[in-house]
Each structure stands twice: as C-alpha cells, then as structure tokens.
C-alpha cells in the first residue's frame, strides 16, 4: 500500500513538472513570437513587446555602464548620462522598428563569431598590458632602487672610512711626537695629509638623492604617459568594435534579405517537409555541401574552418604565457637575491699601516757603509666593517596578481570554446533572422529546394543519355 502511494506521488510530481515545462515553453514561444512579429496582433502582444524591450534596455544599459566606468574608466557623470541616453534610445528603437530588433538580436550571436573572439583577445591583451607588464616594470624598478641604494651605502661606507685613516694618522703623529720631539717636520708633513681626507659626506648624499629623484620622476612620467596612451587606444578600439559589430549585423541582415544564396546551406525541417510533400527525397549526394541544422554534428568543412582560428588563439596564448613567465621570473629573482644579500650583509676590511722613518747622515757615510738610523717604526692593523645591504635598501617586490592570471585563463578558454561553438552560433544567427522574416525564409527554402531538384534532374538526364549512347553502339 505504501509503495502504491509512492508511485502515485511520483507520477503526480512528474505530471506537475511536465505541465510546468509545457507552460514555460508556451510562454517563451508566445514572448518570442510577440518580439519577432512586425506588428503585434493583440494588446497582450503589444504589452509583452514593450516589457521585453524595457528589460533589454535596462539589462544592456547596466552592462554598458559597467563597461564605461570600470573598463574604459570614464567618469561616473559621463557614464551615467551616456547610459541613460543609450537605454532610452534602445527602448524606443526596439519598440518601434522591427528590422532594428532583428539587428540588435543578431548582435548577440555575432559576439560568438570572429568579432567576439577579437573582443576577447583585445581584452586579454589589455589586461596583460595594464596589469602584468606594469608589474614587471615595478619589479625592475625595485632592482634598480636596490642597486642604487646599495651603491650609495657602499659609497658612504668608503667615504666614512676616511675617519679610520685619520685615526691611524693621529696615532702615528702621537708616536712620532713621543719618539722624537725635535722632529717637527714629520708632524707637519702628516698634518697636511688631513686636508685631503676630509670629504663632505652629506653633500655627496644630497647629490645621490637628487639623481635618484630625477630618475624616478622620469620613470613615473613615462609610465603615466604609457598608461594614458593605452587607455585612449582602448577607448578608440572599443568605439570601433561597437561600430564594427553593428555594421556586421546590419550587413548580415541585408544580405539575408536581398540574396537568397547567402548563407543558404542548411537542411531545415521546412525544407524536408517541402520535399516530402512534393515526393522528392534529399539524397546524400545532394546534401554533400549542405549542413543539417537540427543535429549537433559538425561537418568537415566547418571543422576545417576552425583550425586557423585555433592556431591564431594559440599564438596569442603563447605570447601571454611568456609575459606571465617573465613576471614570475623577475619576482622570484628579486626574492632569491634579497635572501642571498640578507644572509651575509656585513663586509670586513683591514687597513694595515706600516710606517718607518730612517735618517741618513751624509758625513757618516764617509766612515761607515751604513749610516742610516731608524727613528720610528710603526705597524698596526685597523679593522673596519660595513653593511653591504642596509635595512633601508631591502624593498619588497610586487607579487604577480593571480587574479589577473585567472581572468586571462578564463578569457582564453572562452576564446577556444567560441571557436568550436561558432559553427552552432552561425546556425542560431540564421534561425534568428528566419524568425523575424518568415516570408523571406520561405523564399530561401523554395530556392534551395529548386536547386536540389535541378541537380537531381541533371543527374537523371545524364544517366539516360549514357544509356541511349550505349544502345546505339
């Protein structure tokens, strides 16, 4: 009894789900018919059309505002005014102009074709140029600052070592004074040495700071100029992309309406129904260059069309990976170099002072072979240590942004997916145009049907002619 109740409950839920799916399907078909009709047949269809146009205007307006303010970095006031004008205009145009609705709807499938791939590739390059390459430049600047700071510290240490020389000199003078108080000339000669060892360290440091500030100022100016140039170029490319996208959709619709041969290579249900009604069977030889629009199978012609696009995207991907690898290599080089420098930062130097004073008496040389007399012998090592990399010179490098790498990976994955799905997106684009212009689609189907019939008649005539020729022989 419990099992029977469960079965009844299951079938009731299944019936409710099927009914809900049927209701949703019917509602969507009604909305699509109201949207694609040139004129509404009833007040309900008119209100549905206005509601759909309003939803489209609001949704695309929000995306347009985000694109202007975040990606193209326009001001909030300019972005808001532009978005308001766009939303109002698109609502009025979609509500009143039937071909404009078709063009706007065809734009969405066009985003999945070559235009969409170009947008994705340009976005990837923009992320690479605005995030990864500046990070490499910042880390290279860190290396330059570390080397500059280290050289300044080393120069300071070498200049400050003059104090050690002066200390050695003072001790030497004291030794001479203690040894021979009457030899004043030695003291005077050593005192003159003091004037050559006094160096203005603060002035040298000031000169280093001025040069460093000038270099950093020039680098910042060049960086700002490059970023501003890239931003303006990105805005120009964005405007060109929108114009190109609208132009491409308009051109497709114009070709669809004026040329029955254009993009007319699909075997549809209407074509098969027309062929069965006239007793014609579409043979495999007739459909060799035709594509079935109902299945998901990709023809050989469609597959070969995808290969060049895959190679182009792969080349851009390799270039992006090289730049990202350089970013990580520079970062890890700075980290490893900082650890190596901080491992043994102190350098010890030794100054060994040897000073000997001898006096030679000329008269004594007449009676003795060696008449030199040692007045003073002084020898003493002076130890001196300095920090090769001071603490102020240790600068943390800028880490590569893993979020940007993830975004680039998703963009290239989307580009690869679009290459494969472009085949089906082209079919969707044709079906959208057929939904808006049903009479034109009927003409195109009749043209393709007559083309298939003419091809079959040509084959039959050729076979009959060959048989007659063989009979005469």
For every residue of 349-380, DSSP letters joined together read: EEEEEEEEEEEE-TTGGGT-S--EEEEEEEEE
The pLDDT profile of the chain, 473 residues, written as one tens digit per residue, is 555 556 665 555 666 667 777 888 888 888 888 888 888 888 888 898 899 999 999 998 998 888 888 777 788 888 899 999 999 999 999 888 888 888 888 887 777 677 778 778 877 887 887 788 888 888 877 777 777 777 666 666 666 666 666 677 777 667 666 665 555 455 555 555 443 445 555 665 566 667 666 766 666 677 677 777 777 877 787 788 788 888 888 888 888 888 888 877 777 788 778 777 877 776 655 555 666 666 666 666 767 777 888 888 899 999 999 989 988 888 888 887 766 666 555 667 777 777 776 666 666 655 555 566 666 676 777 776 666 666 666 667 778 888 888 988 888 898 888 887 777 788 888 888 888 888 888 888 888 888 877 777 776 665 444 333 344 33
- Answer whether 292's CB lies under 8 Å from 458's CB: no
Give the C-alpha distances (Å, rounded to integers) separating 82 from 88, 103, 233, 239: 10, 21, 20, 13
285 secondary structure, DSSP code: T
- Answer whether 121's CB lies under 8 Å from 241's CB: no
pLDDT digit string (tens) for 400-438? Answer: 888 888 988 888 898 888 887 777 788 888 888 888 888
CA distance 211 to 390: 20
- Contacts of residue 150, defined as CB under 8 A and 6 or more positions apart, other chains included, come to 388, 389, 393
pLDDT digit string (tens) for 306-357? Answer: 788 888 889 999 999 998 998 888 888 888 776 666 655 566 777 777 777 6
């Amino acid at each position: 009894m419990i099992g029977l109740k469960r079965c009844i409950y299951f079938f009731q839920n299944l019936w409710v789900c099927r009914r809900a799916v049927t209701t949703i399907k019917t509602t969507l078909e009604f909305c699509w018919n109201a949207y694609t009709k040139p004129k509404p047949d009833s007040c309900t269809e008119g209100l549905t059309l206005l509601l759909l146009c309003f939803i489209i205007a609001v949704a695309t307006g929000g995306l347009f505002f985000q694109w202007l303010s975040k990606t193209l970095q326009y001001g909030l006031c300019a972005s808001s005014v532009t978005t308001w004008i766009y939303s109002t205009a698109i609502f009025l145009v979609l509500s009143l102009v039937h071909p404009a609705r078709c063009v706007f709807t065809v734009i969405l499938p066009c985003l999945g074709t070559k235009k969409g791939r170009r947008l994705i590739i340009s976005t990837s390059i923009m992320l690479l140029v605005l995030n990864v390459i500046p990070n490499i430049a910042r880390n290279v600047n860190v290396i330059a600052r570390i080397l500059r700071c280290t050289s300044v510290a080393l120069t300071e240490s070498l200049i400050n070592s003059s104090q050690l020389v002066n200390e050695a000199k003072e001790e030497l003078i004291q030794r001479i004074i203690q040894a021979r108080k009457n030899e004043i000339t030695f003291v005077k000669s050593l005192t003159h040495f003091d004037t050559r060892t006094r160096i203005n360290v603060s002035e040298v440091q000031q000169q280093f700071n001025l040069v460093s500030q000038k270099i950093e100022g020039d680098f910042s100016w060049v960086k700002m100029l490059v970023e501003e140039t890239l931003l303006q170029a990105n805005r120009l490319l964005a405007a060109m992309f929108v114009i190109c996208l609208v132009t491409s959709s308009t051109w497709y619709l114009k070709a669809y309406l004026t040329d029955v041969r254009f993009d007319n290579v699909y075997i549809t249900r209407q074509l098969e129904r027309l062929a069965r009604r006239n007793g014609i069977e579409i043979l495999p030889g007739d459909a060799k260059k035709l594509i079935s629009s109902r299945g998901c199978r990709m023809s050989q012609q469609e597959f070969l069309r995808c290969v060049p696009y895959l190679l182009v995207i792969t080349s851009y991907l390799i270039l992006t990976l090289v730049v990202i690898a350089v970013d990580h290599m520079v970062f890890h080089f700075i980290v490893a170099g900082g650890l190596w420098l901080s491992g043994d930062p102190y350098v010890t130097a030794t100054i060994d002072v040897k000073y000997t004073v001898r006096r030679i008496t000329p008269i004594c040389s007449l009676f003795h072979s060696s008449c030199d007399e040692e007045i003073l012998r002084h020898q003493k090592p002076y130890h001196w240590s300095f920090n090769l990399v001071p603490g102020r010179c240790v600068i943390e490098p800028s880490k590569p942004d893993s979020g940007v790498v993830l975004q680039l990976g998703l963009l290239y994955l989307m580009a690869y997916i679009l290459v494969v799905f472009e085949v089906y997106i082209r079919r969707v684009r044709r079906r959208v145009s057929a939904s808006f212009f049903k009479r034109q689609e009927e003409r195109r189907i009749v043209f393709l049907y007559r083309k298939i019939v003419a091809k079959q008649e040509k084959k039959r005539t050729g076979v009959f002619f060959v048989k007659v020729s063989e009979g005469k022989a």
